Amino acid sequence: MTNLLVIYDRAAGQVLREEHFDRRRDALAARFSAEKEFRGRPDIEIVVLVAKSRSDLLSTHGRYFFPLDELIARIA
């Protein structure tokens, strides 16, 4: 399983940081640290995503990784 910390700037529509962790608890610890770092910034979204592979995450959570026009093209 891959544990991926994603720090996403909603206003800019881009990933600010992406970190892979082998252990979920390490990913969660990094998330809590990032939440402190970006406290007071409502435009920043911080998540830990878990899947068998990064490829699976691209399928299920593509909005973090692809621009809107590419997402639309993937659906069409």
Residue ranges covered by each domain of the chain: 2-75
pLDDT at residue number 66: 86
User: What span, in angstroms and rounded, lies between the C-alpha atoms of 2 and 13?
Assistant: 23
Average pLDDT of every residue of the chain: 93
Contact between residue 42 and residue 8 where contact means Cβ atoms under 8 Å apart: no
Encode pLDDT of 31-49 as tens digits: 999 999 999 999 999 999 9
CA distances from 56 to 2, 45, 68, 70, 75 (A): 10, 20, 19, 17, 16
Rounded to two decimals, what is the model's pTM? 0.86
